[in-house]
Amino acid sequence: MDSVHENEWLMRWREGRIGFHREAAHPALVRYWPRLGVPGDTKVLVPLCGKSLDMRWLAERGHPVLGIELASQAIAQFVAEGEAPASRYRQGDFEVTRQGSVELWCGDFFHFHLPQAAEVGAFYDRAALIALPEATRQRYAFHLAQLMAPGSRGLLVSLTRPDNAGPPFCVEAAEVERLFGANFELVHLDDAEPEPNGFRESVWSLKRRGPY
């Protein structure tokens, strides 16, 4: 994420402009995650996680969760809304907060590298790709592919909207295929009904391709 969009993201959290946050697990996660066949003890990477309750949903099903978030306010709010005690430590460029089986790494996703992702075996992206401007999305897709081992699976929720404003940004199906197709096997699972504002979510299953 470039510095302009980083500042905008941090400002949103400071001002409480987080209309993208849901007060329950995302329906696409609940419906489609079990279909991926990810073993219950697999650690799940959640980029640009905010304070998403999707992480608690995954943790309740046995998954260790590793969320990465730039805004410290989001992490503080997630912990405050939980019941378990939290511990904190540093890991490279990141301040890590652990609550139960959820680890929240405060910092830049692009500074998270393969050695730190060694235990990660799956990923979930509901609001990372669509939070990034077009110029950064290719970098994001490539970095995510570098972090995931061959055969690992993930669930992606993309978004289309009737204008070019954002975030969240419009990411058409053709762009999803262009960004991820070289490194992942893609399956388009579903298109949600359009919302009154014209936003429409699409759900994708991804599987990291093996070495050739």
Q: What is the pLDDT of residues 57-85, one digit of tens each?
A: 999 999 999 999 999 999 999 999 999 99
**Residue 6 predicted with pLDDT over 70:** no
Pairing of strands 120-125, 102-106: unpaired
Q: What integer pLDDT is reported at residue 212 of this predicted model?
A: 58
User: Does 57 appear as a known binding residue?
Assistant: no
The phi and psi torsions of 64 (rounded to 5 degrees) equal -65, 140
Q: What integer pLDDT is reported at residue 4 of this predicted model?
A: 43
User: Does 10 appear as a known binding residue?
Assistant: no
Q: Are 47 and 131 in contact (CB under 8 A)?
A: no
List, for residues 73-121, the tens digit of each pLDDT value.
999 999 999 999 999 999 988 999 999 999 999 999 999 999 999 999 9
User: Does 53 appear as a known binding residue?
Assistant: no
**Residue 2 predicted with pLDDT over 70:** no
If you average pLDDT over each of 9-18, 143-152, 191-200, which comes out highest?
Answer: 143-152
pLDDT band at 36 (very low <50, low <70, confident <90, very high): very high
pLDDT band at 17 (very low <50, low <70, confident <90, very high): very low
User: Does 201 appear as a known binding residue?
Assistant: no
Length of the chain: 212
What the block records as the tokens of 157 is 């929720």
List, for residues 139-162, the tens digit of each pLDDT value.
999 999 999 999 999 999 999 999
Q: Are 104 and 77 in contact (CB under 8 A)?
A: no
Average pLDDT, the chain: 90
- Nearest residue to 175 via CA among 138, 121, 136, 120: 138
The number of CA neighbours under 13 Å toward the Cβ of 63 is: 25
Q: d(Cα 6, Cα 52) in Å, to the nearest integer?
A: 18
Locus of tokens 């998403």: 52
Helix runs in the chain, H state only: 3-15, 27-32, 54-60, 72-80, 134-147, 173-180
Q: Which percentage of the chain shows pLDDT scores above 70?
A: 89
3-class secondary-structure state, position 170: coil
Locus of tokens 């997630």: 78
What the block records as the tokens of 205 is 């299953």
> Mean pLDDT over residues 198-212, rounded?
92
- Nearest residue to 188 via CA among 199, 201, 202: 202
- Nearest residue to 122 via CA among 33, 24, 44: 44
The phi and psi torsions of 33 (rounded to 5 degrees) equal -55, -45
The phi and psi torsions of 24 (rounded to 5 degrees) equal -155, 165
Residue 149 sits at the vertex; the CA angle it makes with 147 and 154, to the nearest 5 degrees, is 80
